[in-house]
Amino acid sequence: MSPDFTAATGSSVGGPQAADLLSWYDRHRRVLPWRALPGEAPDPYRVWLSEVMLQQTTIAAVKPYFLRFLERFPSVEALAAAPEESVMSAWAGLGYYSRARNLQACAKAVAEAGAFPDTLDGLRKLPGIGAYTAGAIAAIAFDKQEAAVDGNVERVVTRLFAIETPIPAARPEIRRLTQSLVPAHRPGDFAQSLMDLGSTICTPKRPACALCPWMAPCEARTLGLQETFPRKIKKTKGVERYGAAFVAIRSGDEAVLLRTRPPEGLLGAMAEPPTSAWESGYDVAQALLDAPLDARWKRLPGVVRHVFTHFPLGLTVFVARVGLATKAPAGMRFTPRRDLEEEPLPGVMKKVLAHAFDPKPEAVKRGRPKAMRAVQDTPLFAEVEAPPPEPRPSFHPVPKPVPRAVAKPPIEDGEGFFSEPEESPPPVALRKRGRPKTRPR
């Protein structure tokens, strides 16, 4: 291999070669709605939008959202000019809603500048764009020799070089090694090929090493430890929080009472039915103190569960039917059921509303005590009723048998056998083979 070719690939002889990976990519590249076809120029808007959506989200989940989002906002200028509620509604369901707020802020900055910056430093200055996203856009959209290190790339590189340092402490070393692999020729395709390799071949479990273009130089595979990389520090699970959600349904048009959460913080600027505070020690028996209005609230069976990044959440749902003339409290609104799709409802609140309109008991987990099972479907203001009488057994009880009279002690015949005394009539019993067991006197 010539020195010029080695320099172009960004790899040294004997190590992983960029040319090998690019050759594999040319045969197996995935067709994705945001990815330019061979010979086409990448669209920076599509590249940026897809990279933001793909943060902490799978490709399968992003595809339909990306296509609908692009249809609604076909350009960065259209996204910048759109109402915030429209953007949040289009994003609803993708999670990590701060990304949506940063997305529009970034679109406004780009629209004002007239175009996306084409350098890593320029991209890093935009709202919501970190090191990975900047590297991906610079490489894919502008063909810059920059590394794009996501979770898939971390896994590939830690296995290639058998990096023992656990993540996240290993990330500076991973980035340095990844940057050393990026070729001067086709850096955008290299970035996408590395992502594809981690997603389809170098998977977390049971990687298809025999199909990998970098099988030979992979140090973890040589050691037979490929599935043990990357090393990670076990995360501590957050303390579960609890709360109550109040779904007020207006008679006549089935409108639901909603409010908008504060712009900052968890689920910022998203819509929700009013809820209580979410606390680890929330007392659901006192939930009526948090109700948004006076009504005959009914507590539904089960608990709506949702897992956020830092903690799991359990919400008890209360439902009330209110009159058509009922006015929404300050800062709230009634939205007709047919228009709920237009509201920026996050996934957890969609679960709450689905449970309110079609309540189902919480699934019972095996091995859990009965006291932990689903909450009974009892009206909140119903009087406490006496427990029902114990049901009568459906079988006829069998009387206890009369105990047998104790027989007199047997008499030894001198040869090691025992027999009943003559004055006692022999009992009726089944004849057993073999020598009978003896009992001491």
Active site positions, annotated: 51
Q: Residues for the chain: how many in total?
A: 441
Contact status, residue 267 vs residue 278, Cβ threshold 8 Å: no
| Distance between CA atoms of residues 186 and 420, nearest Å | 103
Buried/exposed 162-172: b ≥16 CB within 10 Å, e otherwise? bbeeebeebee
Element (H, E) at 70: helix 59-72
Question: Which backbone phi and psi does 57 adopt, to 5 degrees?
Answer: -140, 145
Secondary structure letter of residue 204 according to DSSP:
S
Q: Would residue 290 be called left, alpha or beta, if left means φ above 0 and alpha means ψ between -120 and 50 degrees?
A: alpha
Contact status, residue 282 vs residue 241, Cβ threshold 8 Å: yes
List CB contacts of 215: < 8 A, sequence separation 6 or more.
Answer: 209, 221
For helices 44-53 and 131-142, angle between their N-to-C axes, nearest 10 degrees:
150
Smallest CA-to-CA distance from 191 within 380, 393, 394, 42 is with: 42
| Distance between CA atoms of residues 139 and 147, nearest Å | 7
